[in-house]
Amino acid sequence: MPPADAASPPRLVVVQCPDWSVVAAGAVATEPVAVLHANRVVARTPAAADSGVRQGHRRREAQRICPELRIIAHDPTRDGREFEAAVRSVAEMVPRLETTEPGMFTFLAKGPARYFGGEHAMALRVASLVADAIPVMHTWMLGIGIGDGRFTAGVAARDSAVHSRRRADQQPTIVDPGLAATRAYLAPLSVSALRDVGGLSVELVDLLQRLGLHTLGALAALPAPDVLARFGTPGAFAHRIAGGGDDRPPGTQSAPPDLIATRVFDDPVKMLDPLVFTAKQLAEELHGLLAANGRVCTRLAVTAETEHGERSEHLWYRPGGLSVAAIVERVRWQLDGWIRKPGGLTGGVVTLRLVPDEVRSDDGSQLGFWGGRSEADEWAVRAVSRVAGLVGEQQVLVPTWHGGRLPGDTYRWTSVDQIDLGPGSGSGSGAGDDRLRAADVPWFGQLPAPSPATVLTEAMPAEVLGATGDVVRVNGRGLLSAVPDTISIQSSPAQLITAWAGPWPVDERWWDPAAHRRLARFQFTTERGTAYLAVVEHQQWWIIAVY
Which residues, 202 to 241, sit near other proteins by CB under 8 A?
none
Least distance from other proteins to the Cβ atom of residue 269, Å: 17
Determine the interface stretch with other proteins among 14-22, 246-254, 357-365, 396-404 (rule: CB under 8 A). 396-404
Per CB under 8 A, contacts with other proteins among 417-446 are 425-428, 433, 435-436, 439, 444-446
> What's the distance, CA 482 to chain centroid?
59
Per CB under 8 A, contacts with other proteins among 497-516 are 499-510
Nearer to other proteins, 212 or 511 (CB): 511
Nearest to 280 by CA among 347, 212, 327: 327
User: Binding pattern to other proteins, positions 470-499, x when CB under 8 A?
Assistant: ------xxxx---x---------------x
Residue 237 sits at φ, ψ, to 5 deg, of -65, -45
User: If binding is defined by CB under 8 A, does position 115 make contact with other proteins?
Assistant: no
> What's the distance, CA 217 to chain centroid?
30
* Residue 450 preceded by cis peptide, ω within 30: yes
Angle, alpha carbons 108-112-118 (nearest 5°): 110
User: If binding is defined by CB under 8 A, does position 291 make contact with other proteins?
Assistant: no
Among 405, 534, 536, 543, binds other proteins (CB under 8 A): 405
Least distance from other proteins to the Cβ atom of residue 541, Å: 16
C-alpha to C-alpha distance for 163 and 385, rounded to whole angstroms = 34
Strand partners of residue 487: 464, 495
Nearer to other proteins, 83 or 411 (CB): 411
DSSP state letters, 309-370: --EEEEEEE-TT---HHHHHHHHHHHHHHHHTSTT--SS-EEEEEEEEEEEEE--S-S---T
Least distance from other proteins to the Cβ atom of residue 442, Å: 8
User: If binding is defined by CB under 8 A, does position 76 make contact with other proteins?
Assistant: no
User: If binding is defined by CB under 8 A, does position 447 make contact with other proteins?
Assistant: yes
User: Binding pattern to other proteins, positions 376-395, x when CB under 8 A?
Assistant: xx-xxxxxx-xx--xxx-xx
Contacts of 451 (CB under 8 A, 6+ apart): 407, 410
Nearer to other proteins, 243 or 407 (CB): 407
Q: How many residues does the chain have?
A: 547
Nearer to other proteins, 250 or 461 (CB): 461
Nearer to other proteins, 50 or 433 (CB): 433
- Collapse the DSSP code of 416 into the 3-class scheme (helix H, G, I; strand E, B; otherwise coil) and give the result: helix
User: If binding is defined by CB under 8 A, does position 354 make contact with other proteins?
Assistant: no
Least distance from other proteins to the Cβ atom of residue 33, Å: 23
- Number of Cβ atoms within 10 Å of the Cβ of 183: 19
Amino acid identity for residue 308 in this structure: H
CB 533 within 8 A of CB 525: no
Least distance from other proteins to the Cβ atom of residue 525, Å: 5
Amino acid identity for residue 287 in this structure: H
User: If binding is defined by CB under 8 A, does position 373 make contact with other proteins?
Assistant: yes
Nearer to other proteins, 357 or 409 (CB): 409
Among 413, 431, 481, 492, binds other proteins (CB under 8 A): 413
Among 73, 162, 211, 397, binds other proteins (CB under 8 A): 397
Burial class of residue 310 in the structure, from the number of CB atoms within 10 Å of its CB (0-12 exposed, 13-18 middle, 19+ buried): middle
- Number of Cβ atoms within 10 Å of the Cβ of 149: 23
Determine the interface stretch with other proteins among 103-111, 261-269, 333-341, 406-414 (rule: CB under 8 A). 406-414
Amino acid identity for residue 97 in this structure: L
Nearer to other proteins, 227 or 519 (CB): 519
Counting residues that bind other proteins (by CB under 8 A) gives: 76
CB 443 within 8 A of CB 404: yes
